[in-house]
Amino acid sequence: MPYCSNCGKEVREDQDVCLSCGKSLPHKSQKKVYDETESTGGYAVLGFFFPIVGLILYLIWKDDRPKASASAGKGALIGVIVSASFAFLYFIFMFVFMFLFGGFAFGFGNIIL
Ligand SMILES: [Zn+2]
């Protein structure tokens, strides 16, 4: 149990002020609060183009900057999904294209011969 630095009375840790003397109590466990009124959309864009950076920022800021962390994490997630979708679509497109134009067999023939 902590004690009031002013009057020496026992105080609870979640108290903001001492109930005996009214002195405001310092919160040792209080985390550094960031001003999150700034726009965090930029971190989403950053995460989108550099998912690894977004993921790292997400992990670093998870506790201290939940808003910026969420933005970076969301951007990274969308970036990964979009990249994967494009890779998948490209694969499908190439497969269909080769199949339709008979290039599939031709392509394999080239590799074998
Ligand atoms: Zn006190």
Question: 82 alpha carbon to ligand 1 midpoint, in Å?
Answer: 58
**Residues near 45 by beta carbon (within 8 Å), at least 6 away in sequence:** 75
The Å distance, Cα 19 to ligand 1 centre, comes to: 7
pTM for this model (two decimals): 0.52
Phi, psi of 76 (to 5 degrees): -65, -45
The mean predicted confidence, pLDDT, of the chain is 83
* In contact, 73 and 81? CB cutoff 8 Å: no
CA of 14 to the centre of ligand 1 (A): 14
- Report whether pLDDT(26) > 60: yes
Q: Which residue has the tokens 């670093």?
A: 60
User: Distance from the CA of 3 to the center of ligand 1, in angstroms?
Assistant: 8
**Least confident piece of the model among 6-15, 21-30, 40-49, 52-61:** 21-30
> Which residue type, as a one-letter code, is found at position 39?
S
At residue 24, the pLDDT reads 86
State in Å: Cα 32 to ligand 1 middle: 24
Over the stretch 87-110, which tens digit does the pLDDT of each residue have? 999 999 888 887 777 655 555 555
CA 16 to ligand 1 center in whole angstroms? 11
Dig out the tokens for 31 from the structure.
């985390």
Ligand 1 is a single-atom ion; what residues have CB below 5 A from it?
Answer: 4, 6-7, 18, 20-21, 23
pLDDT for 51-75, tens place per residue?
999 999 999 999 999 999 999 999 9
Higher pLDDT, 34 or 71: 71
